[in-house]
Amino acid sequence: MFVWSRLSSAQWSDSWAERFSGHNGAVITVIPGRKTVRVELYCVEKREALTVQRQFGGTVRPVRSRNWAALRLELPPPVVVRNALLVSAASDKAKLAALAKANPRRTIISIPPDMAFGTGHHATTASVLRLLVDFSKSRKGQAWTLCDLGTGSGVLAIAAAKLGARDIYGCDFDPHAVRVALHNVKRNRAGGVRIEEADVLRWKSSQRYDCVAANLFSDVLIAAFPKIVRIMKPGGTVLVSGILKSQSAECLRAGEKAGLKFDTIITKGKWVTARGRREDFMP
Ligand SMILES: C[S@@+](CC[C@H](N)C(=O)[O-])C[C@H]1O[C@@H](n2cnc3c(N)ncnc32)[C@H](O)[C@@H]1O
């Protein structure tokens, strides 16, 4: 048994928890009186610990005494999104078929935990998924396009494909997330989805979208809002998340300054998600 570990700023705790969700060897320790947390991942294989180290830095060391049997992988429960979708961590065909049988009105999406954000469990992903279902219903069968900035596991892009979007673009600046998203697109046979590695803050696009999903962080959103407004079609919708409650006023103000009007604001725990439109094209 080996443990990979590193220190991280406390503000990234949720991101680490989400990345390693489904892995029973993940431990996040709050260090009293400090703004850092210790993130550890206990792995049966040294190879696994070294892969995580290559990606995220930190150290790897062997561990001796522990009840390793308790660390077996258990899948988190599926995430149900209205009557439309069910996101499961299972990849096993029989389990997915059983879920489909038990949920005949929902499309099943398989996102096994794989160190990319976006299993559907995090409050930000769950809220955007719900708003995406609502958006798809508002299209009443008309084709629509989606741009997914910070795609992570690709869950939003895949959900859009299942909800009737035709032309879907997703990007992430984390090459591992891009690899995971591409696998997930293939695994779920999500048609019309293009994923690429790109930093939202440097990325340029001349295409315009009916819907832009941006589950990023406040500072990235604040910097990216003018660009987000430029890639929205007239009357288009933006779904933003990843905003801490304590930063939401400043973040949403920056969106309004860039030309957005927010009509729905959802707070779940410490996270805020909002739906906006281009103010110059309000219906
Ligand atoms: C909160 S996760 C969202 C993942 C997924 N879209 C979801 O809703 O669950 C944010 C993602 O954005 C990516 N990201 C953060 N800043 C970025 C940037 N400047 N350019 C591209 N991707 C970025 C991260 O790597 C991460 O995968």
Q: In what order do the strands lie in the sheet with 79-81?
A: 79-81, 85-88, 107-110
Name the phi and psi angles at 102, rounded to 5: -80, -15
- When pLDDT is averaged across residues 176-202 and rounded to a whole number, the result is 96
Domain residue extents for the chain: 2-71, 118-281
Average pLDDT, the chain: 90
User: Does residue 123 surpass a pLDDT of 50?
Assistant: yes
pLDDT-above-70 percentage for the chain: 94
Q: How far is the CA of 216 from the centre of ligand 1 (A)?
A: 5
Which of 60-71 are b and which e, b meaning 16 or more Cβ less than 10 Å from the residue's Cβ? beeeeeeeeeeb
Q: How far is the CA of 199 from the centre of ligand 1 (A)?
A: 9
pLDDT-above-90 percentage for the chain: 68
- When pLDDT is averaged across residues 244-269 and rounded to a whole number, the result is 96
Mutate to test the pocket of ligand 1, among 13, 169, 212, 215 (most ligand atoms within 8 A of CB): 215
Output the pLDDT for position 233: 95
Question: Residue 246's CB: how many other CB atoms inside 10 A?
Answer: 10
Q: How far is the CA of 228 from the centre of ligand 1 (A)?
A: 15
Q: Say which CATH topology domain 118-281 has.
A: Rossmann fold (3.40.50)
Q: How far is the CA of 172 from the centre of ligand 1 (A)?
A: 6
- Which residues form the pocket of ligand 1, taking CB atoms under 6 Å from any ligand atom? 117-118, 124-125, 128, 150-152, 155-156, 171-174, 177, 199-201, 215-216, 220, 242
Q: Say which CATH topology domain 2-71 has.
A: Alpha-Beta Plaits (3.30.70)
Q: How far apart are the first and last CA of the chain?
A: 59
For 58-82, how does the pLDDT look when each residue is reduced to its tens digit (9 = 90+)? 999 887 654 444 444 567 889 999 9
Mutate to test the pocket of ligand 1, among 55, 117, 129, 204 (most ligand atoms within 8 A of CB): 117
Nearest CA to ligand 1 atom 11: 150
Tokens of 121: 């469990």
Mutate to test the pocket of ligand 1, among 200, 218, 240, 268 (most ligand atoms within 8 A of CB): 200
Mutate to test the pocket of ligand 1, among 20, 216, 227, 272 (most ligand atoms within 8 A of CB): 216
Task: Decide which of 169 and 67 is more confident.
Answer: 169
Q: How far is the CA of 212 from the centre of ligand 1 (A)?
A: 13
- When pLDDT is averaged across residues 83-91 and rounded to a whole number, the result is 94
Name the phi and psi angles at 193, rounded to 5: -105, 125
Identify the band that residue 100 occupies on the pLDDT scale cut at 50, 70 and 90.
very high
Question: Residue 217's CB: how many other CB atoms inside 10 A?
Answer: 19
Q: How far is the CA of 123 from the centre of ligand 1 (A)?
A: 14
- When pLDDT is averaged across residues 269-279 and rounded to a whole number, the result is 93
Q: How far is the CA of 153 from the centre of ligand 1 (A)?
A: 9
Its pTM surpasses 0.75? yes
Q: Distance between CA atoms of 263 and 260, rounded to whole angstroms?
A: 10
- When pLDDT is averaged across residues 202-209 and rounded to a whole number, the result is 94
